[in-house]
Structure 1
Amino acid sequence: MLKLISSLTLVASLCVWGCGEAPREGPAEEAEMAGGSAAPLAPTDTVFFQELSWSPDGSSLLLSVLGFGPGPDGYTYQIYRVDADGSALVRLTDGPRDYWTSWSPDGSRIAFAALTDENLDIYVMAPDGTNRVRLTDDPAKDTHPYWFADGSRLVFTSDRTGDPQIYVMKADGSGVRQVSDVAGELWNPVPSPAGDRIVYYAPDESGEDYVYVMNLDGSDRTKLAPGLWPAWSPDGTRIIYAGEGGLFTMAPDGTGQRPMMAGDIGFGRYAPDGTRIAYIATDDGAVMVNVMNADGSGSRTLLRNPKPQW
């Protein structure tokens, strides 16, 4: 595995699928919001921001939040929405595992993975957390959904044939088809803005995680750079990813690699207009949701959760 950020990588590996030992319980915590106020994140002791997703208009963010609770193994993942200025934090779900979010291009639906009946499947819901609809119902584990730019399809990861592979389905859950068939575990698939390629990460032959890109039909698989959690810029000219020592971008062919922000950074996403980047980072153990300009300048913290008690 790529030796990236100890705390971020630990939790990411803990609950990509289903989950192992829960972190040691600590005191109840609140998230510090932009402007200095605080808000309770859940009726649990929240310890980690896992991933994030922008609304199509760039006005708000979705967050998957890890907390101790009554769910399997003693902890939960729940989905929150926060305004892009760090205000108005709202919890949208209360299931044992609700995470890996993606906002539909028209803003009407949120796709996510949820644990139901001891199994992970893909769901959609309204932006306020209502009207929850199940899209997949398979004994396999389905997760990491992401919308195509035209809103007609979703890409996701499933272990239906063994190792996690990449699948595509229509927005209503029909027409599921496998688009990758390679050795190893493929994670975090994100379609390009044009819808003709998919970026993802997977371990190479040595076990180190690399960013890959392939055509929508699974052909022309290309290894780009060591890293995790890749995603496209809105214009398709750059790929953002977490690499050794920080957040980076590169061209879709792997050239032109640029450091954007140094530090313990595990997840970054461009705003829909391409002018900002939201990312998750740690600072002395505390976990933060930050936003910066697309050139790496002007970083500021939207949410900061105190140092977890592991």
Structure 2
Amino acid sequence: MSHRLLRILILAVACVVLAVVVATLGYAFTRGGPHKPRYPGRLAVRDGCGLRHMFFDASDQRMMCLQDVFDRISVSRNGDKLAWDTTGGQSLLVSGVDGQAPLNVPVPLGSSSAPSLSPDGTKIAFLHSPRDDGKYDIWVSSTTVPNAEQETNTRNVSDVVWSPTGDWLAYVQNWSPDTLEGQVSLVRPNGDDSHTVTKGDAPDWSPDGKKLVYVHKGSIWTINPDGTDGHLLIRNGHSPAWSRDGELIAFMRADTCGRNICPEHAYLAFANRTEPHPVGPAYANERQIVWLPDPFE
């Protein structure tokens, strides 16, 4: 073999190796690695048999049906897993991000709801009531091994969401039907360091874990996890959900219709306070919003 041909072969092999390395790093960075995804993700609204999902410009609308889905759906930060509660209230299901072939999460006897997956999808936080009396605490379990443990002892928790960095659970306690909010609080996944951050409802995390978005007095606010720098972001909104790249916040808002109950739309606004705009179809009432991974991540 000539030296020239040998050099060509070595160069070709080097190019292939470099391409593999770049592709691997790109996958790691965009699927739960240290860098944020390149795209917002697919906006997904709880509807019908599961999720109605679309790109952020409302194009390519599709339905993803989820077996026996009831109310709350969670997407792991790495974009690999879905979890949801079921109509009977006795079980939680977990699957790949396509929603197919779900498996039962090993939860204790009683009522279980409002699941929130850990960033890597191997653990799950959820609300559990052993007596099935509507009074809930936070429990944490493996998604595959029956090792659930109770992490709060208040019997008045109404929401929980795992931070994208994995070190905190944000939750709502003492929710009031009169004010439609409670105390947005934090606790470690092992039950330590529980403390209140602010008054509000429906917290969600920024992808870097440095901010919380939540509802207060019918509008959407952001705040640091230590309770500082709280400010109004969007007037007249609820059910906020931060996009996977951190650039957008999706939320629900009722239309103006002159009646007591009006249809609702999903809205999008940039996290830097740009004017919101509606996206997708109208819904009969308020819905949960989540962000699925973009297929081009």
For residue 167 of structure 1, report the CA deviation from its aligned partner: 1.0
Matched, 1:141 2:141: no
Aligned to 1:288: 265
Aligned to 1:203: 174
CA distance in 2, matches of 1:216, 1:138: 18
| Equivalent residues of 1:56, 1:105 under 8 A apart | no
For residue 119 of structure 1, report the CA deviation from its aligned partner: 3.3
User: RMSD across aligned C-alpha pairs, in angstroms?
Assistant: 2.7
Amino acid at match of 1:283: D
| Equivalent residues of 1:79, 1:98 under 8 A apart | no
Distance of aligned partners of 1:198 and 1:79 in 2 relative to their CA distance in 1, 3 Å threshold:
same
Aligned to 2:158: 187
Asked which structure has the greater CA Rg, the reply is: 2
Aligned to 1:79: 51
Matched, 1:131 2:119: no
CA distance in 2, matches of 1:275, 1:93: 28
User: Unaligned stretches of 5+ in structure 1?
Assistant: 1-54, 68-76
Matched, 1:235 2:186: no
| Equivalent residues of 2:67, 2:102 under 8 A apart | no
Aligned to 1:158: 128
Distance of aligned partners of 1:137 and 1:153 in 2 relative to their CA distance in 1, 3 Å threshold:
closer
| Equivalent residues of 1:56, 1:104 under 8 A apart | no
CA distance in 1, matches of 2:176, 2:281: 37
Aligned to 1:26: none
User: Which moved further from structure 2: 93-102 or 146-155?
Assistant: 93-102
Amino acid at match of 2:184: V
Amino acid at match of 1:64: R
Classify the secondary structure of the residue corresponding to 1:227. strand
| Equivalent residues of 1:63, 1:101 under 8 A apart | no
Distance of aligned partners of 1:172 and 1:84 in 2 relative to their CA distance in 1, 3 Å threshold:
farther
| Equivalent residues of 2:182, 2:200 under 8 A apart | yes
After superposing on structure 2, the runs of 4+ consecutive aligned residues of structure 1 that deviate more than 4 Å are 94-97, 204-208
CA distance in 2, matches of 1:176, 1:198: 15
Provide the identity percentage. Answer: 20
> 25, 45, 48: which one pairs with 1:63?
45
For residue 56 of structure 1, report the CA deviation from its aligned partner: 9.8
Aligned to 1:255: 228
| Equivalent residues of 1:248, 1:260 under 8 A apart | yes
| Equivalent residues of 2:223, 2:229 under 8 A apart | yes
CA distance in 2, matches of 1:56, 1:113: 30
| Equivalent residues of 1:119, 1:139 under 8 A apart | no
Classify the secondary structure of the residue corresponding to 2:91. strand
Aligned to 2:18: none
CA distance in 2, matches of 1:248, 1:62: 21
Higher helix share: 2
Classify the secondary structure of the residue corresponding to 1:92. strand
| Equivalent residues of 1:292, 1:299 under 8 A apart | yes
Question: What's the TM-score once normalised by structure 2's chain length?
Answer: 0.72
CA distance in 2, matches of 1:121, 1:57: 33
